[in-house]
């Protein structure tokens, strides 16, 4: 299953609903291009909804880290929403769980962005 990404805007926050596999190749590229396009358009508050992401490999983890640092370096915020158990475990093993701002609730995630 390839990865899909669709964006919507709620209260000035861009929510990217991702689904499928974020792995080396197509999945990682879709994520990279999506975040890059949003940054180019001037969006600085991005919430990645990983609820329908079924699988992520080390390349996908790297792409999440890269997206996080590039948005932060541009003065923005990138947060994660709805981790599956598999993705949650991976971020914990790699000690990235505390690096990312992670939420299980969209409303509170949106409210957590600085205004």
Partner 1 sequence: MEKRHAMNATRVSYTLESTLASVNKAEQAVTEIAAKSGFDEDECGRIAMAVREATVNAVLHGNRYDPNKRVTVSFETIPDTLTITVRDEGDGLDARLIPDPLAPENLLKQSGRGIFLIRAFMDEVRFRTMSPGTEITMIKSVRDPGGEGNKEANQ
| Coil, helix or strand at residue 101 | coil
| Rounded least distance, CB 96 to partner 1, Å | 7
Ramachandran region, residue 54 (left: φ > 0; alpha: ψ -120 to 50; beta: rest): alpha
Looking at 68, 78, 79, 83, which residue binds partner 1 (CB under 8 A)?
68
Q: How far apart are the two ends of the chain, measured CA to CA in Å?
A: 37
How far apart, in whole angstroms, are the C-alpha atoms of residue 21 and residue 1? 7
| Rounded least distance, CB 9 to partner 1, Å | 27
Q: For residue 98, give the nearest of 73, 68, 76 by alpha carbon.
A: 68
Looking at 2, 9, 69, 108, which residue binds partner 1 (CB under 8 A)?
69
Is 93 a residue that touches partner 1 (CB under 8 A)?
Answer: yes
Q: In this complex, which beta carbon is closest to partner 1, that of residue 6 or of residue 58?
A: 58
Q: Which of residues 26-55 bind partner 1 (CB under 8 A)?
A: none
| Coil, helix or strand at residue 6 | strand
Residues that bind partner 1 (CB under 8 A): 23-25, 57-59, 61-63, 65-66, 68-69, 86, 90, 93-96, 99
């Amino acid at each position: 299953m390839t990865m899909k990404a669709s964006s919507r805007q709620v209260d000035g926050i861009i929510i990217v609903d991702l689904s499928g596999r974020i792995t080396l190749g197509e999945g990682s590229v879709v994520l990279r291009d999506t975040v890059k396009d949003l940054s180019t358009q001037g969006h600085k508050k991005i919430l990645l909804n990983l609820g329908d992401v079924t699988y992520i490999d080390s390349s996908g983890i790297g792409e999440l880290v890269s997206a996080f640092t590039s948005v932060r370096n541009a003065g923005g915020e990138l947060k994660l929403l709805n981790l599956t158990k598999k993705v949650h475990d991976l971020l914990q093993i790699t000690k990235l769980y505390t690096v990312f701002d992670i939420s299980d609730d969209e409303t509170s995630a949106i409210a957590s962005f600085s205004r």
